[in-house]
Structure 1
Amino acid sequence: MSTLLVAVLGLAGLVLLTFGADQLVVGAGRLATVLRVAPVIVGVVVIGLGTSAPEFVVSGTAAVRGNAGLALGNLVGSNILNVTLILGVVAVVSPVLVRSSVPVREAPLMVAGVTVFGAFALVGLKLVAGVLLALLSIGALVLLVRLSRVPPDDPLPDDVAAFVEPSPPPGRWWVEAIRIALGLAATLGGAQLVVDNASTLAHLWGVSDTVIGFTLVACGTSLPELMTSVQAQRRGQGDLMVGNLLGSNLFNSLIGGAVVGLAAGRDRIAPFGFAAVTAMVLAGVLAWLLLKRGSRITRPEACVLLCAYCLTLPLLISANS
């Protein structure tokens, strides 16, 4: 198979993946309006979880096939990219403002989740690690929902309503359920194409699956986060935008790590590189500290995040080549 054909099939997979994830997020977001939850929780749980679906599926598929480098490289690379490149690009265009609860609650929870995942990645993921990460995922979801519920009689916040409207008419919730199912199917199909052709490209180009994982594949599976973040920031929804990115990292780490560990079963997924795991944790801490300074990301701070990504990427490529 020619390199051009492999690249075209890989791009087709990314397009299908992005479209499927987008429909998954729209459907989930519209149904979530019934729950009357806070905008941050819609970003962290509903949209963050939905836009992380490509990472889960791609990494799980790679783990089943024994491709540890691609499985973990995708998760690690996406976690770095979300809080450096994507957050930096959006904040350069327009400074990001968030409520004080984000750096106090959601940001440290994200850092904790990334750190736990990093610790497991350093020693190697297997069934036990997958079960533990799955339990932590459930705990994190319950905690976020309990802390961020809005009383049923309260009107839905304008920033959430603007993002997910129009909500499904009474008796038509099944339309959004079908949208979610079709979006998931497209995500699964796109992930299959991405994994197959990314691995083939790695071999054709003579680079490691790990490098392909945290560069090309990570960028591709992070497209839903980028699209959602740009849309949210354009509407002045800083909480929703940051919540999406923080939630994506939290779920990439806990649920994504759980999927990889469970897919590996009794066979341990090989330990991941120390440099990459350290860079992932430090990127999360950097974003947290910048948000903590004033509940905002200014343009100079956005440049710091972009520089962090530009400096980290070549170091990781050289360390894993």
Structure 2
Amino acid sequence: MSTLLVVVLGIAGLALLTVGADQLVVGAGRLATVLRVAPVIVGVIVIGLGTSAPEFVVSGTAAVQGNAGLALGNLVGSNILNVTLILGVVAIVSPVLVRSSVPVREAPLMVAAVAVFGAFALVGMKFVAGVLLAALSLGALLLLGRLSRVPPDDPLPDDVAAFVEPSPPPDRWWVEACRTLLGLAATLGGAQLLVANASTLASRWGVSDTVIGFTLVAVGTSLPELMTSVQAQRRGEGDLMVGNLLGSNLFNSLIGGAVVGLAAGGDTIAPFGFAAVTAMVLAAALAWLLLKRGSRITRPEAAVLLCAYAAILPLLISANP
């Protein structure tokens, strides 16, 4: 297979992954509304977890195929990219104002999740680590649900309603069920294409799977977060924008790490690079400190985040040949 064809298939996988994840979120959101699921489930679970679905699928697929570097590199790279490049780009265009308790609630929870995932990555991911991270994932979801509880009959909050399509008539629930299933299938198929062809390119170009995971794959699987963040900021919903990015990192670390650990089965995934894990934790802590400082991200602070990403990327590449 020619290199050009491999590149084309990889791009096709990325496009399919992006479209599939979008339809998965839309379908699940509409279905949840039709079935009268509590608004918190639509807001926290569908939007927060939905935009992280590509990371889970890509990393799980890579782990099953034995591409440990790509599996963990994608999660680590996405975690760094979310709170540096994406948050920095959005805030450099328009300063981000956070009006809720995100800096004192979700942000420290995200940093803790990233640190736990980093600790497991440093000692080597295995099945037991996957089980523990899965348990922590469930605990985090229950905690977020408890903190964000809204009576089921209440209307969706404005910041959540902005991202949930109007619900179809109740007798059309099966249409949204099909949309959700097709979106999931497209996400899985796109992930398979992206992982397979990214690994092929890595071997042909003499680049490690880890570097490909940090860069191309991490950027690709973070597109849903980027699109959601841009839309949220355009509508003046800084809380949802920042919450989505922090929530994505939390879910990437706990659920994504659990998927990788469980997918490894009886094998142990080799310890990950110290420089990469340290950079991931420091990037998460930096974003938290900036938010805590004034409940906002100004343009100068956005420039700090962008410079942090620019400084981290060469370090990661040089540390993971």
Match of 2:266 in 1: 266
Q: Which residues of 2 match residues 29-48 of structure 1 at below 5 A?
A: 29-33=29-33, 34-37=36-39, 44-48=44-48
Please list, as runs of the form range in 1=range in 2, the aligned pairs for 1:133-148 lying within 5 A after superposition.
133-148=133-148
- Structure 2, unpaired ranges of 5+: none
Which amino acid in 1 is paired with 2:48? G
Deviation at 1:51, TM superposition (A): 1.1
Q: Contact 1:43–1:244 at 8 Å: present in 2 too?
A: no
Q: Bigger CA drift: 167-176 or 236-245?
A: 167-176
Q: Per the alignment, do residues 37 and 226 of structure 1 end up closer, same or farther by CA in structure 2, a change over 3 Å counting? A: same
Give the TM-score normalised by the residue count of structure 1: 0.96
TM-score (norm 2): 0.96
Q: Which moved more, 1:162-171 or 1:98-107?
A: 162-171
Q: Counterpart in 1 of 2:14? A: 14
Instruction: Summarize the Cα distance change of 1:44–1:299 in structure 2 as closer, same or farther, 3 Å threshold.
Output: farther
How far off is 1:45 after superposition?
A: 2.9
Pairwise mapping of residues 81-160 of structure 1 onto structure 2 (< 5 A)?
Answer: 81-160=81-160
Between the aligned partners of 2:100 and 2:157, the Cα distance in structure 1 is 17
Partners of 2:64 and 2:263 within 8 A in 1 = yes
Give the Cα–Cα distance (whole angstroms) in 2 for the partners of residues 243 and 172 of structure 1: 31
Q: Are residues 169 and 240 of structure 1, via their aligned partners in 2, closer, same or farther at CA, if it must alter by over 3 Å?
A: farther
1:199: which partner in 2?
A: 199
8 Å CA contact 2:100, 2:239 repeated in 1: no
CA distance in structure 2 between the partners assigned to 1:44 and 1:83 by the alignment = 18
How far apart, in 1, do the equivalents of 2:43 and 2:175 lie? 22
Give the Cα separation in 2 of the matches to 1:37 and 1:290. 30
- In 1, distance between residues paired with 2:45 and 2:294? 24
Per-residue Cα deviation, 1:161-203 (whole angstroms, up to 9, x for no partner): 2221312323333322221111110000000001100000001
Give the gaps of 5 or more residues in structure 1: none
Q: Specify the alignment match of 1:230 in structure 2.
A: 230
Let me know the Cα RMSD of the aligned residues: 1.4
State the shift of 1:300 in Å: 1.0
- Residues 106, 246 of structure 1: 8 Å contact kept: yes
Which residue in the other structure is 1:23 paired with?
Answer: 23
Tell me the distance in 2 between the aligned counterparts of 1:184 and 1:129: 26
Q: Could you tell me how far 1:3 is from its partner in structure 2?
A: 1.4
C-alpha distance in 2 between matches for 1:68 and 1:156: 40
| Distance in 2 of aligned mates of 1:192 and 1:303 | 35
- CA distance in 2 between counterparts of 1:35 and 1:147 reads 17
1:32 positional shift: 4.4
